């Protein structure tokens, strides 16, 4: 049986863990204190590099390498922006850290700030997460009062402030450059990359954008060692990860698991998720949020790690495993997904703004009337033209799931042949 490995969630069930005294009693901020007093900033980055940590926001970029892109020297202020926008459908894990162990995120943020020389960090929390906002703000206040945040932290010459910055309801602000535009006080429009935020971010200064869970992992790595982290999981997917199991499962929930090539995605769905609630057969799975291709029930025997799921044609993305059984019509499922992205397109790029709405209307017609002859080819053609022609990846987050549904469930999208 697959078991949870609780590192990030070790103390999450204790309601007192959100308080500084309890967090410290459980070893909290020891790693930060040690880093400040005994390690150079570069030592911290080296430990993270050694761990093999890849970002938990969805793209899986190596965290230590991202930090190394920050230019050295002190001519411009440097910033950290923690991505707590958590809006990818199916994803509900960053909130667990913020509501149940907020200092763990703050400690990782301080370690990141120390490593890259940042003096201010903003935690960009989606505006709907009022409970997270309150808890994180209280945690910051307590840490500030204990001189863990602010000027000359613990008597050293390192200073760093941390502030919560609430969003206001826009999925696109989870995209890192949109997050920065939004934080500066604007509509959340993504920016063309390069320059990447690590070089030119907030107010054109170097800015590291990392996901909440990534920051929690940094805390674990500095507490227990990069070698310890690298020894968990498997090559390319080291450490533990929070997975969000949702949909037609018997035991939906947020679970901390190690990736492995020794068991499969299907094993996780069955052993951790408990299989389907109704007992009906699985029809499909979105293994990493709704932005990636769907996997059919016969494609779930891949290993449970980033590389294996990529080989199976999808992605572990943000760790959001959404399962649907065969009682639902896949035409409804893909329509729901397209409604999400067409609502959330920021509208800057024509292929995304017009294309997403056109795709949604086409899928609406498929749902009620079924496709006419030639519709599927047109839809494929239109979505092909949205791929790679836009500022950010939201456009492909429509293309991939939509094309995959059409290809993988041809019987559900059989065209009406005109006589």
Ligand X SMILES: Cc1cc2nc3c(=O)[nH]c(=O)nc-3n(C[C@H](O)[C@H](O)[C@H](O)COP(=O)(O)O)c2cc1C
Q: Residues in the site for other proteins, rule: CB under 8 A?
A: 77, 86-92, 94-95, 126-131, 161, 163, 165-171, 182-188, 203, 244-248, 252-254, 286, 290, 320, 322, 324, 328, 332-333, 336-337, 340, 343-344, 346
User: Which of ligand X, ligand SF4, other proteins, none sits in contact with 186, Cβ below 5 to 8 A by type?
Assistant: other proteins
Cα distance between residue 388 and residue 398, in whole Å: 12
Is residue 222 part of the contact set for ligand SF4 (CB under 6 A)? no
Residue from 28, 55, 167, 401 that binds ligand X (CB under 6 A)? 55
Is residue 353 part of the contact set for ligand SF4 (CB under 6 A)? yes
Residue from 211, 240, 290, 403 that binds ligand X (CB under 6 A)? 211
Cα distance between residue 81 and residue 163, in whole Å: 10
Cα distance between residue 280 and residue 298, in whole Å: 15
User: Which of ligand SF4, ligand X, other proteins, none sits in contact with 128, Cβ below 5 to 8 A by type?
Assistant: other proteins
Residue from 81, 257, 346, 359 that binds ligand SF4 (CB under 6 A)? 346
CB closer to other proteins, 347 vs 374: 347
Residue from 56, 93, 223, 360 that binds ligand X (CB under 6 A)? 56
Q: Which of residues 136-165 bind ligand X (CB under 6 A)?
A: none
Is residue 392 part of the contact set for ligand X (CB under 6 A)? yes
User: Which of other proteins, ligand SF4, ligand X, none sits in contact with 290, Cβ below 5 to 8 A by type?
Assistant: other proteins
Cα distance between residue 269 and residue 323, in whole Å: 8
Cα distance between residue 68 and residue 72, in whole Å: 9
Beta bridge partners of 121: 80, 162
Residue 231 carries which DSSP code? T
Cα distance between residue 69 and residue 400, in whole Å: 30
Is residue 397 part of the contact set for ligand X (CB under 6 A)? yes
> At which residue do the structure tokens 């999925």 appear?
171
Counting Cα atoms < 13 Å in the Cβ hemisphere of 43 gives 11
User: Which of other proteins, ligand SF4, ligand X, none sits in contact with 62, Cβ below 5 to 8 A by type?
Assistant: none
In the stretch 363-402, what mask flags binding to ligand SF4 with x, by CB under 6 A? Answer: ---------------------------xxx-xx-------
User: Which of ligand X, ligand SF4, other proteins, none sits in contact with 176, Cβ below 5 to 8 A by type?
Assistant: ligand X
Q: What is the DSSP string of 352-382?
A: HHHHHHHHHHHHHHHHHH-PBTTHHHHHHHH
How many residues make contact with ligand X (CB under 6 A)?
24
Closest distance between ligand X and the C-beta of residue 83, in Å? 4
Is residue 180 part of the contact set for ligand SF4 (CB under 6 A)? no
Closest distance between ligand X and the C-beta of residue 229, in Å? 15
C-alpha closest to that of 402 among 348, 347, 353, 341: 341
Residue from 205, 349, 376, 402 that binds ligand SF4 (CB under 6 A)? 349
CB closer to ligand X, 56 vs 408: 56
Closest distance between ligand X and the C-beta of residue 312, in Å? 21
Is residue 324 classed exposed, middle or buried when 0-12, 13-18 and 19+ CB atoms within 10 A define those classes? buried
Cα distance between residue 205 and residue 189, in whole Å: 18
Q: CB neighbours (10 Å) of residue 130?
A: 11
Specify whether the CB–CB gap between 244 and 90 falls below 8 A. yes
Cα distance between residue 109 and residue 103, in whole Å: 9
Cα distance between residue 181 and residue 288, in whole Å: 26
Stretch of residues binding ligand X (CB under 6 A), selected from 209-217, 295-303, 381-389, 403-411 = 209-217
What tokens does 71 get? 């230019």
Residue 280 carries which DSSP code? P
Binding site for ligand X (CB under 6 A): 55-59, 61, 63, 83, 85-88, 172, 174-176, 209-211, 214, 392-394, 397
């Amino acid at each position: 049986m697959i078991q949870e490995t609780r590192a990030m969630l070790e103390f999450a069930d204790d309601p007192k863990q959100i308080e500084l005294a309890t967090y410290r009693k459980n070893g909290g901020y020891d790693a930060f204190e040690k880093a400040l007093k005994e390690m150079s900033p570069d030592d911290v980055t080296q430990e993270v590099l050694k761990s093999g940590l890849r970002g938990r926001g969805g793209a899986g970029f190596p965290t230590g390498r991202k930090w190394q892109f920050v230019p050295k020297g002190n001519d411009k202020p440097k910033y950290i922006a923690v991505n707590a926008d958590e809006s990818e459908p199916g994803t509900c894990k960053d909130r667990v850290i913020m509501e149940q162990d907020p200092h763990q995120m703050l400690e990782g943020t301080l370690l990141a700030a120390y490593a890259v020389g940042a003096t201010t960090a903003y935690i960009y929390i989606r505006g709907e997460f009022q409970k997270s906002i309150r808890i994180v703000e209280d945690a910051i206040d307590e840490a500030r009062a204990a001189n863990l945040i602010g000027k000359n932290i613990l008597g050293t010459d390192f200073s760093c402030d941390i502030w919560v910055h609430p969003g206001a309801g826009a999925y696109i602000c989870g995209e890192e450059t949109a997050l920065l535009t939004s934080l500066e006080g604007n509509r959340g429009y993504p920016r063309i990359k390069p320059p990447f935020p690590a070089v030119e971010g907030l107010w054109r200064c170097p800015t590291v954008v990392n996901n909440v869970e990534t920051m929690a992992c940094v805390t674990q790595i500095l507490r227990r060692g990069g070698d310890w982290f690298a020894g968990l999981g498997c090559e390319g997917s080291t450490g533990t990860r929070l997975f969000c199991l949702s949909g037609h499962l018997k035991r939906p929930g947020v679970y901390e698991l190690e990736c492995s090539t020794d068991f499969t995605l299907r094993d996780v769905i069955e052993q951790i998720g408990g299989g389907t609630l109704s007992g009906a057969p699985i029809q499909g799975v979105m293994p990493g949020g709704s932005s990636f291709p769907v996997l059919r029930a016969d494609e779930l025997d891949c290993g449970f790690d980033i590389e294996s799921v990529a080989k199976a044609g999808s992605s572990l993305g943000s760790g959001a495993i959404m399962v649907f059984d065969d009682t639902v019509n896949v035409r409804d499922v893909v329509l729901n997904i397209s409604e999400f992205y067409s609502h959330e397109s920021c509208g800057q790029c024509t292929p995304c703004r017009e294309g997403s709405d056109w795709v949604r209307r086409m899928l609406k017609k498929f749902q009620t009337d079924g496709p006419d002859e030639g519709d599927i080819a047109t839809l494929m053609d239109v979505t092909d033209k949205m791929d790679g022609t836009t500022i950010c990846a939201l456009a492909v987050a429509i293309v991939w799931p939509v094309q995959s549904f059409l290809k993988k469930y041809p019987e559900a999208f059989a065209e009406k042949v005109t006589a």
